[in-house]
Amino acid sequence: MRIYIDGHSFHYEMENLVRLFYPNEKIAVYDNYETEPEKPYIITRMTNADGIISLSASVYFEDYERSKCKDINADDNESEKNAERELAVILYDLLSEYTGKKQPWGILTGVRPIKLFRRLSEQNGSEYAKKYFEQKLLVSEAKTELSAVTEINERKILSLNHRDSFSLYVSIPFCPTRCSYCSFVSQTVERAKKLIEPYFKLLCKEIAYTGQIADEKKLRLETVYIGGGTPTTLSAEQLSELIDVIKTSFDLTNCREFTIEAGRPDTITEEKLTAILSRGVDRISINPQTLNDDVLRVIGRKHSAAQTIDAYKMAEKIGFRHINMDLIAGLPCDTPESFINTLNTICELSPASITVHTLALKRSSRLTLEGRGVTTETGNYAAGMLEYCEKKLTESGYHPYYLYRQTRMEGNLENVGWSKDGFDGLYNVYVMDETHTIIGCGAGAVTKLKVPDSEIITRIFNYKYPYEYINGFDEMLKRKEQVREFYDELS
């Protein structure tokens, strides 16, 4: 599929809009229009003359050719932004007519729709934001209402933020096996066993060094999140040491939440859970993804549904009050019936929070490399699964507190965090809203330095892979100096 751009710079938006309708197509974007190019192709045009912006989109498929156009005024500072949106609407209409598809999020292709909804609400009120979503962005009524409710719940969490607030992310990039849908920077324990101990020792050094900078700059630590990968691939002794290093390196006086992902049930032991809880970690995530054993085998997980339930009950018995559980809608071989069974069983366990993801297939995942991309059927399945989630979880006393989207999601849907009152995942909201600075430690971690009361973010990237991190550790510490320089400039 070729997209030709004529007279505008909206390359990214046009490509991603087309990808909503053709998620598995190879899409190429060109500035120069060819004479009679090979079908299928799309042309988007913009001209600006005498205060009028003329927009048009044309689609050329083997059995279908059609164009649409629209003129708008070029009389204010918003004209470029409006032109981009209107051109997207024109192209959306053409593709929707041809494919017979309506996208639940309309022309929105961004990761953070709630952030946009909040900005619109702050400017003109929530009713205006709802109308804008539905009328200007073509978002469905159901997704608009979900956005409105989520934004209200997020706002309570954002109000806790201070100008000097930050969160700490620590990366443990090792897993028992690699899931077939995964594209994260993680390695299996079997392949990377020799790297774990040297990686762990250097990670503790980076944490200690970073803590010195945070203390020097008098930063206020709000949340800690140890993720990966699967942090519970570490031993009980290593987990204890890691938590102790964080506690001695940072002032946790104002820390509202401390999370460790215990994502794989087959890595959870009583000894590890006791070590975690005894050191004050108040939130863990046990992630079944599904309770269908056949689906677990297909996606490359070695644990069973029964192990998930046993791990949950063990954590509950030991004393964890906030246990989160992750599910994925749209997994290969999962059916609406088995997904409903999974969710119903999880609701019977009654965890404090449940995160419902929609399968998103990245380029480097095994499922994508095997050619098992997003299809209309699986997208429809996933849509029905999320509809059931919203109904069931609301009835079970949960509310949506954060929401984000990814590219190549089944059905162009969303990921939603649901929680009982008082158990919202604060770190999740701060990350997705880009509320304050996130300082990352470990392989694949990204530090995002946020200028207060602005949208300005400076990123510092750690090396991606454990072996790179180990070999280039001195460079990691040098990069952390940018944190000090950033706050020196702010003061």
3-state secondary structure the chain: CEEEEECCCCHHHHHHHHHHHCCCCCCEEECCCCCCCCCCEEEEEEEEECCEEEEEEEEEECCEEEEEEEEEECCCCCHHHHHHHHHHHHHHHHHHHHHCCCCCCCCCCCCCHHHHHHHHHHHHCHHHHHHHHHHHCCCCHHHHHHHHHHHHHHHHHHCCCCCCEEEEEEEECEECCCCCCCCCCCEEHHHHHHHHHHHHHHHHHHHHHHHHHHHHCCCEEEEEEEEECCHHHCCHHHHHHHHHHHHHHCCCCCCCEEEEECCCHHHCCHHHHHHHHHCCCCEEECCCECCCHHHHHHCCCCCCHHHHHHHHHHHHHHCCCEEEEEEEECCCCCCHHHHHHHHHHHHHHCCCEEEEEECECCCCCHHHHCCCCCCHHHHHHHHHHHHHHHHHHHHCCCEEEEEECCCCEHHHCCEEEEECCCCCCHHHHHHHHCCCEEEEECCCCEEEEECCCCCCEEEEECCCCHHHHHHCHHHHHHHHHHHHHHHHHHC
Q: Output the pLDDT for position 32.
A: 76
* CA triple 322-327-333, angle to 5 deg: 160
pTM of the model: 0.92
Q: Output the pLDDT for position 228.
A: 86
CA distances from 448 to 415, 460, 461, 482 (A): 22, 7, 9, 11
Q: Output the pLDDT for position 136.
A: 97
- What percentage of the chain exceeds 90 in pLDDT? 82
Per-residue pLDDT band at 229 (split at 50, 70, 90): confident
Task: Answer for the pair 385, 409: CB distance below 8 angstroms, yes or no.
Answer: no
Average pLDDT over residues 333-343: 95
Angle between helices 236-249 and 189-216 (to 10 degrees): 20
pLDDT, tens digit (0-9, with 9 covering 90-100), for 111-168 = 999 999 999 999 999 999 999 999 999 999 999 999 999 999 999 999 999 999 999 9
Residue 188 tokens, joined: 């299996």
Q: Output the pLDDT for position 360.
A: 87
Beta strands 322-329 and 353-358: pairing type?
Answer: parallel
Q: Output the pLDDT for position 410.
A: 86
Q: Output the pLDDT for position 377.
A: 53
Task: Answer for the pair 386, 355: CB distance below 8 angstroms, yes or no.
Answer: no
What distance in Å separates the CA atoms of residue 392 and residue 305, rounded to the nearest whole number? 20
Per-residue pLDDT band at 263 (split at 50, 70, 90): confident
Per-residue pLDDT band at 192 (split at 50, 70, 90): confident
pLDDT at 83 over 60: yes
- Residue 156 neighbours by CB distance under 10 Å: 11
What distance in Å separates the CA atoms of residue 470 and residue 192, rounded to the nearest whole number? 12
Q: Output the pLDDT for position 326.
A: 96
Average pLDDT over residues 442-464: 96
Residue 285 tokens, joined: 């995530």
pLDDT, tens digit (0-9, with 9 covering 90-100), for 346-395 = 999 999 999 999 998 765 545 544 555 445 455 678 999 999 999 999 99
Per-residue pLDDT band at 191 (split at 50, 70, 90): low
Q: Output the pLDDT for position 376.
A: 46
Q: Output the pLDDT for position 183.
A: 56
295 by Cβ neighbours in 10 Å (0-12 / 13-18 / 19+) ranks as buried
pLDDT at 30 over 50: yes
What distance in Å separates the CA atoms of residue 116 and residue 405, rounded to the nearest whole number? 13
Average pLDDT over residues 304-326: 96
Please state, rounded to an integer, the average pLDDT across all residues of the chain. Answer: 92
- What percentage of the chain exceeds 70 in pLDDT? 93
Average pLDDT over residues 332-341: 94
pLDDT at 33 over 80: no
